[in-house]
Structure 1
Amino acid sequence: MTNLFGAKSTTEDVLSGIELGGKRVLVTGVSAGLGVETARALAAHGAEVVGTARDLAKAEAATAAVRAQAAIGGSLELVELDLASLASVRACADALLADGRLFDVVIANAGVMAAPFGHTADGFETQFGTNHLGHFTFVNRIASLIVSGGRLVNLSSSGHRFADVDIEDPSFEHTAYDPWIAYGRSKTANVLFAVEFDRRHKARGVRATAVHPGGIRTELTRHLDDGTLEAMVGKINEELAAEGKAPYELKSIPQGAATSVWAGVVAAADEVGGRYCENCHVAEVTENPVSRISEGVRPYALDAERAKALWSKSEDMVGERF
């Protein structure tokens, strides 16, 4: 596929001329930021969107524009889902299964970043438990609802470069906690989950991919101290200036949500299946040093055997086989 889009492309750019009438899409985390914009763009082009949120009242207020801009046939339905609680995950999945309506695309968008050390309701380290295990359990429980030709899109991050998963110590029981290492582990897990889900389901026509939305100022930064994000960007720009390169720019929310939408409903399935995407294209595998701004995906995040091992460990942790 010829790539027509890039880092500055927005959701409206990638969906230009595309009608999604008759499509049904599930998006997790629609109470703020990327989730709201993803839902808005899809509904505005005619899709029926089911959005999940931990706080339904907050999501109801945040998604007023989604309903206001929905095209004919487009809609938004909200359902309660707390990814930090397996009881909530299972209850939501059971309700969707009982409802029985199918999905063309599932976009696993919700997540937390650089959270202080803590645990989910089930005792998992907060970031790994919320970003990976919650979605792992939820998506696998509703996998039968994804139609042949459908897709799973996992939101990862360039933060996967900070750390590979630690299958032996996923909850930092034996190693010192670092919020960015924990975030990196969870984002690598998001990619590996997509790799193995794709392998398991592609024979029935369901593909999975992982995406990096880019650097965006959203509620995801709520655990950062005041000025931290600005300081990070400043440091990056000092390094870029020393190399004679243009300064780094944060993306707008519509630009940040564009890759999720592109990978879910625009790109060819065989192009993105089992891959990691960024800036509306498939990323190249790179061994470059950890960087917040360099493009590319680290090899360990796409390692098929690592993906199988994480799947097995995740099943052990949540107490279910998929």
Structure 2
Amino acid sequence: MHTLREAPMFDWNDLRFFLEVSRRGRLVTAARHLAVDHTTVSRRIQALEERMNTKLFDRTPAGYSLTPAGAQLVEYAEAMETTAFAIQESIAGQDLHLSGTVRLGAPEGFASAFLGARLHRFFAAHPGIQIDLVAAPRYLSLSKREADLAIGLARPTSGRLVARKLTDYRLCLYASPAYLERMGTPRSLKDLETHDFIGYVDDLIFAPELRYLDKLVRTPQVVMRSTSLIVQRDAAVDGLGLCILPCFVAATAPGLVPVIPKESSITRSFWLVTHADLRDIVRVRMVAEYLRDLVKRDHDLLIGRSLDRIDANASTATATSA
């Protein structure tokens, strides 16, 4: 029987190599980030497996994938890394050189029309971190680890999830000048009953927060439906019909014109959600902090401040003509 003193112990430093391979999936890529030769990485992984008497990776032509034991070890190794970074940050006062991947799930419109063009400053500050941005017309399951962070349309009500409101954003009706010239410009909500609309596929709407067209028109005449907000935007640009779009999405198509913005204005919210087990992982926390700073900096765009100016100008013009 082995005593605690006699029990073999792995080299703690081997966990750095293990984590890097788990994140990169290939020895050569992991070695590049660790600034060592790939044979060194291979040797350290092999030593760790021998010390732990278990297989941590399946080796395939496509790369290294975690075994169930490896996936279990990742959780412990991540916690140890987080503690090490906390010590380095708070006691040693040194800059953090983070590495690894953060998978971020976001609604397609927000990912495509907002986030994609605003991540360069994060990568400049943290070149070792890779972000997998999953733009999907559905919720990603954090409990099933489909993502490390997710941006949702509502605060989750179940599961071991930590949520914080990220930002409000504003939507209103938009149309192309060509459509308005052909069909006329609506002046009130009642006028909308004779217009064509672009919207979501009803039975594929994944969140009740997306059911806003019926709030403006009792029986909208929808000529095209799509699960993609970007497709809806492009159809509106092409003059197919009126479309309710977030202001930040409409801003990516300068030809679109807001239609009765005061009456058609709708406010929704984005929530930043992560699993309770991941909220203290340093690289996940860094991405979350960057997202909060990002929406704060572009708050006017997200809440459609330009629409307020349009309303103010319209009110002034009405008062002047009176």
Greater C-alpha Rg: 2
Q: Greater strand percent: which structure?
A: 2
